[in-house]
Every structure is written in structure tokens, then in C-alpha cells.
Structure 1
Amino acid sequence: MDTFWVGVAFVIFLGLLAKFGVHKKITAALDSRGEMVARELAEARRLRQEAEKLLAEYEAKRKAAEAEAASIIAAANDEAKRLAAEAETKLSEFVTRRTKSAEDKIAQAEIQAEAEVRAAAAEAATRAAEAILRGQMAGKAGEAAFSTGLQEVKAKLN
């Protein structure tokens, strides 16, 4: 019999719950909770779509930056090659100019040395001729002839 009274008490309890509208409150609470979960899911979807758009934008920017970096590197390599070729040309021209300058200085030194040798030879010939003529000619007539000859020799040798 105890189960009978427990059953009756249970039915009365359910009746009281129905009278006070507890089932409507529970349903309303579950519905509001379901709506809140649905709103959160919709917000999560929206945030995910925004994140995917941002990711796509940043991927595009990264690819563009990589392409720009590659073009900058290629331009820098081309510029380096051009500068190297230009430097090589300038170095070659510099060496050619320095070689020409050195050759000109050598030729000038040869000409100057030749002139100095001729002057020394003329001076030596003049002294030798002077010594010979002094020995052969004496007096004023010899000295006049010597001066004239000496001037002629100097004029021809220089």
C-alpha cells in the first residue's frame, strides 16, 4: 500500500506543477536557452567568415609582398651586374690611360736623355776641338778662327 500513496502523491505533485504552469516556464527557459545558443552559433559563423576573409586578404598581401620582394631582388641583381660591368670598363680604361701615360713619360725621358747625350757629346767635341785648335793655332788669328768655329759647331749640334 505504500506504493499506492506514493503514486497518489506523485500525481498530486504533477497536478500542482501543471496548475502553477511550471511546464510553461521550463519550456520558455529551454526555448530562450535554445535561442541564445542559436544566436551564439550565428555570431560564431559570422566571426568565422570574417576571419576567413581576413585570412584571404592577408594571404593575397603576403603573395603580393613576396612578388614585390622577388622583383626588387631581381632588379638589385641586374643593377649589381651592370655596376660590375661598368666598374670593369672603367678599370680597363684607367689601366689603358695609365699605360699610355707611362709610355708617354718613357718616350719623353728617352728624348730628354738623347738630348742630354747630344749636349754632352757636343760639349766634349767642343772641348776637344778647342784643345786641338789651341795647340795648332796660336795668337789672335787662331783665337778668332777658334771662336767662329766653336759657334758654328754649337749651332749645328744643338
Structure 2
Amino acid sequence: MANANLPEVIATDAAQTEAVIDAGAAKHVGPELWGLEPYQIVSVAMLVLLLIAFGFGKVHKTIAGGLDNKIAAIKEQLEEAKQLRAEAEALRKEYADKIAGAEKDAEAMLENAQHEADAILEKAEADSKAMVERRKRMAEDKIAAAEREAVEDVRNRAVSAATGASRKLIAEKHDAEADKALADKVIAGI
């Protein structure tokens, strides 16, 4: 029963056939590959690895060169991105300045328009006052002219009435003899 607790070892047919029993002691046989012992397999693998490393050393240089080229391309792209960012910042600043300038221009235009509107309003008020004054003067002139015409008309009527009354009085009171005496007096005065 002591053997029942031990793990069961399964061996291949080749290992079983090579097991040599020497005076009751079992001799251990290690694995083989192409008839070589494990240390020989490791030595051959290292030799092959070194040959590959030295023989195909150009491959790692090519890979390293490719990686260097990729790194250089990425650096170039980063520099280009930095330059594009700087240009974008400059454009943003330029447009921000333009917007600020446009806002100042708009404010100046609005202020200028307000001044012009005030000036036009003042001119219109002055023009309307001048027009009212002119019309007032024209009306006063028309009134004065009408008054002069009325006074002239009254005078003319008064003169006509006075002349008519004088003729009538002279005709009634002045006869031919008074005319002759008056004519002699005027001739003597000359």
C-alpha cells in the first residue's frame, strides 16, 4: 500500500526500453533531440541565435532606421502642428483685433451719425426760424404795402375830393374878372 500513495509516472515506450537496471538500481535517461543531450541543444540554439544576430544584424538596423524615420516624421508633424497652432493663434488674435476695431469703428460711426443728426436738426431748426422770420417779414411788408396803398388811396380820394370841392368853390366864387386880376398878378410877378 505504500505504492498506492505515490503518483503514477507514465513513460514513453522509448524511455521504458532504455531504462537499464544495474544491480537493482534504475538509471535515469534524459530526453534527447536528434541524438543530442539537453546541454548540447542549448549550445546549438545559442550558436544559431548568435549567427542570426550577427548575420542578420542589418535587419535590426533596418528596423531601427525605420523607427528613426518614423520618429523623425512624427517630430516633423509635431513641428508642423506647432507652427499651424502658432499661425492659428496669430489669425485668432488678428481677427479678435479686427473685431475690436470694427466695434470701435461702429461706435465711432454711431457717434458721428448722432453728431450729424444733431447738426441736421439744429440746421433745420435754424432754417425753419429763418423761414418763419422771412415769411413774417414778407407778411409785414405786404401789410405795410397794403397800408401804404390804403393811405395812398385815402390821400388820392382826399385830393380828388378836395380838388373837386375847390373847383366847385372856385367856380362858384371865382368869376372871369377875378381870373383876369389873378392872371395879371402872376404875370407881374414874373
Question: Whole-Å Cα distance in 1 between the matches of residues 102 and 112 of structure 2?
Answer: 15
Is residue 103 of structure 2 the alignment partner of residue 70 of structure 1?
Answer: yes
Q: 1:45 to 1:123 in 2, by over 3 A?
A: same
Is residue 84 of structure 2 the alignment partner of residue 44 of structure 1?
Answer: no
CA RMSD of aligned residues (A): 2.7
- Structure 1 unpaired stretches of 5+: 5-10, 145-158
- Structure 2 unpaired stretches of 5+: 1-33, 35-43, 183-190
Aligned to 2:153: 120
Q: 1:19 to 1:58 in 2, by over 3 A?
A: closer
Is the deviation greater in 38-47 or in 124-133? Answer: 124-133
TM-score for the superposition, normalised by structure 1: 0.74
Q: 1:131 to 1:47 in 2, by over 3 A?
A: same
Higher relative contact order, structure no. (Cα contacts within 8 Å, ≥ 6 residues apart): 1
- Which runs of 4 or more aligned residues in structure 1 lie more than 3 Å from their structure 2 counterparts after TM superposition? 18-22, 139-142
SS class of match (1:137)? helix
Higher helix share: 1
Q: CA deviation at 1:79?
A: 0.3
Q: 1:46 to 1:71 in 2, by over 3 A?
A: same
Of the two, which has the highest radius of gyration? Answer: 2
SS class of match (2:56)? helix
**How many aligned positions are there?**
133
Question: Whole-Å Cα distance in 2 between the matches of residues 25 and 84 of structure 1?
Answer: 85
